[in-house]
């Protein structure tokens, strides 16, 4: 898996051996935007065209293009995980939100920067 970024949008890219193409899909939005290329050189161009086409189409139909994420996260964890995270945040001298953001940023950054 590889990750590409353009105009604030990210895409996951995989090689599809049955079709002999690199196939990508924008991540982080509900609209389904895909692209593909049969060679590495054309992949970035296809990605840029897909994003540009998405933004142009949204403008033409009067729709606001989806932006990746609002900044609000809601998820459930086991009570002991919650307790450990709250304690870690308190011991670090930060709020649970600040601590969680730092931990998630570090973990996610490893994936995004590994592109």
pLDDT tens digits for the chain (115 residues)?
Answer: 578 889 989 999 999 999 999 999 999 888 999 999 999 889 999 999 999 999 999 999 999 998 866 777 888 999 999 999 999 999 999 999 999 999 998 888 776 655 4
CB 7 within 8 A of CB 16: no
Domain that holds residue 97: 79-112
The Cα 35–Cα 51 span in angstroms is 9
- Shared domain for 47 and 85, answered yes or no, is no
CB-based burial label for 51 (10 Å; 0-12, 13-18, 19+)? buried
CB 15 within 8 A of CB 24: no
- Shared domain for 56 and 6, answered yes or no, is yes
How many structural domains comprise the chain?
A: 2
- Shared domain for 27 and 56, answered yes or no, is yes
- Shared domain for 56 and 90, answered yes or no, is no
The Cα 40–Cα 36 span in angstroms is 10
pTM listed for this prediction:
0.64
């Amino acid at each position: 898996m590889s990750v590409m970024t353009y105009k604030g949008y990210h895409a996951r890219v995989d090689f599809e051996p049955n079709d002999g193409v690199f196939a990508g899909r924008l991540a982080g939005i509900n609209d389904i935007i895909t692209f593909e290329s049969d060679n590495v050189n054309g992949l970035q161009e296809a990605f840029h065209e897909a994003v540009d086409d998405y933004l142009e189409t949204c403008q033409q139909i009067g729709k606001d293009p989806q932006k990746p994420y609002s900044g609000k996260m809601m998820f459930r964890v086991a009570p002991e995980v919650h307790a450990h995270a709250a304690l870690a945040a308190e011991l670090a001298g930060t709020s649970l939100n600040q601590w969680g953001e730092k931990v998630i940023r570090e973990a996610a950054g490893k994936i995004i920067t590994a592109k």
